[in-house]
């Protein structure tokens, strides 16, 4: 079977196996309960479903899921295949767009436009309704960004993104540090918020947007910062929120927060759920070595979609996620 044939949605049984089927030879899937509070979030007996596969590879994993509620579908990145995928519940996955500069993390702005961290172009962009592209950020202080990774939009329209270091030797015109950045709502100002992460990766706001969580993939932990009224971070409030290291494969990558303030992040052995104090309530063991990112979806925002290197996984929750696009605060 040719690669294009393998990945084209046909609705047939064969396609269901290719893009909606299960992958064999994986550890047992399970939901581990560390604290009784997990029962209000997800049942320990809830099925963990593989819903799509055939993405990711040596050049980059499956990544960047974001739910499009008005369309009833999920979009996500296949970095290795340099394409954007579309998953429709009950139908399966198909290629939405080929040739996306190896897009990585994605979200939507207040107008519902897709915001993407592009790996190849080393920039954050916004896709307009007519298909054109607006560059949100590609440099800082006249130096080129490194490898933009993940992105979130605050309810005031400001855009926050992470920019870890590239594996290759930096050029003199490259930004010499890793960074967490804020772009003003009018796109006129790019502000460096933090530069002492080893590998800044996923980021997410608390539901009230008073705290920004940022994980460090190489250090294996999540840090938390209180957010100042002007949108910058109060550096004196910097604290390690949770440690996600362990003997099993996996490290902190993408991260999301639900409407009750619980934080979801990959780590050793699966996806961890923490309460707002950093206490581990449970772990979703999806059966794959890496949790690359996640998103809430469904009509009620209670379906948790998890991307691993090659497979898209889904779990039904009892708590809704924070909707995307963000809702403006009064």
Average pLDDT over residues 30-55: 98
CATH code of the domain made up of 28-316: 2.120.10.30
Contacts of 318 (CB under 8 A, 6+ apart): 40, 41, 42, 43, 302
Domain ranges of the chain: 28-316
Q: How far apart are CA 301 and CA 110, in angstroms?
A: 17
pLDDT band at residue 170, thresholds of 50, 70 and 90?
A: confident
**pLDDT at site 9:** 31
Q: How far apart are CA 62 and CA 80, in angstroms?
A: 8
Per residue in 115-159, pLDDT (tens digit) is: 999 999 999 999 999 999 999 999 999 999 999 999 999 999 999
What does the block give as tokens for 103? 């897009």
**pLDDT at site 79:** 98
**pLDDT at site 329:** 78
Average pLDDT over residues 52-58: 96
Q: Does pLDDT of 273 surpass 90?
A: yes
pLDDT band at residue 314, thresholds of 50, 70 and 90?
A: very high
Instruction: Give the mean pLDDT of the chain.
Output: 92
Average pLDDT over residues 273-291: 97
pLDDT band at residue 330, thresholds of 50, 70 and 90?
A: low
Asked if 285 and 277 touch (Cβ cutoff 8 Å), the reply is no
Higher pLDDT: 14 or 305? It is 305
Asked if 231 and 154 touch (Cβ cutoff 8 Å), the reply is yes
Q: How far apart are CA 117 and CA 258, in angstroms?
A: 23
Average pLDDT over residues 259-270: 97
What is the dihedral sign for C-alpha 93, 99, 103, 108?
negative
Which of 160, 287, 162 minimizes the C-alpha distance to 231?
Answer: 160
**pLDDT at site 53:** 97
pLDDT band at residue 172, thresholds of 50, 70 and 90?
A: confident
How many other C-beta atoms can be found within 10 angstroms of the C-beta atom of residue 90?
7
- Any idea what the Cα angle at residue 109 is, between residues 105 and 114, rounded to 5°? 50
What does the block give as tokens for 60? 């980059």
């Amino acid at each position: 079977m040719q690669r294009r044939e393998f990945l084209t949605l046909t609705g047939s049984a064969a396609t269901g196996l290719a893009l909606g089927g299960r992958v064999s030879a994986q550890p047992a899937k399970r939901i581990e309960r560390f604290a009784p509070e997990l029962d209000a979030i997800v049942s320990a007996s809830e099925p963990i479903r593989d819903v799509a596969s055939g993405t990711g590879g040596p050049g980059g994993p499956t990544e960047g899921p974001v739910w499009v509620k008005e369309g009833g579908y999920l979009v996500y990145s296949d970095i290795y295949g340099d394409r954007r995928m579309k998953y429709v519940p009950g139908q399966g996955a198909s290629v939405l767009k080929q040739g996306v500069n190896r897009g990585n993390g994605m979200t939507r702005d207040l107008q519902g436009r897709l915001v993407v961290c592009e790996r190849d172009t080393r920039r954050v962009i916004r896709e307009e309704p007519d298909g054109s592209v607006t560059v949100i950020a590609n440099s800082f202080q006249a130096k080129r960004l490194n490898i933009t990774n993940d992105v979130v939009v605050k309810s005031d329209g400001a855009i926050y993104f992470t920019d870890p270091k590239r594996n290759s030797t930096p050029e003199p015109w490259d930004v010499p540090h890793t960074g967490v950045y804020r772009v003003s709502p009018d796109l006129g100002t790019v502000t460096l918020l933090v530069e002492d992460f080893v590998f800044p990766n996923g980021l997410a706001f608390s539901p009230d947007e008073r705290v920004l969580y940022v994980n460090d993939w190489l250090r294996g932990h999540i840090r938390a910062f209180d957010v100042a009224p002007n949108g910058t971070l109060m550096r004196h409030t910097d604290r390690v929120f949770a440690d996600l290291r362990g003997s099993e494969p996996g490290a902190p990558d993408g991260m999301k927060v639900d409407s009750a303030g619980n934080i979801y992040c990959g780590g050793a052995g699966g996806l961890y759920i923490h309460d707002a104090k950093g206490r581990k309530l449970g772990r979703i063991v999806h059966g794959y070595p890496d949790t690359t990112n996640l998103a809430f979806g469904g009509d009620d925002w209670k379906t948790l979609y998890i991307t691993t290197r090659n497979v898209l996984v889904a779990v039904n929750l009892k708590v809704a996620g924070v909707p995307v696009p963000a809702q403006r605060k009064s």
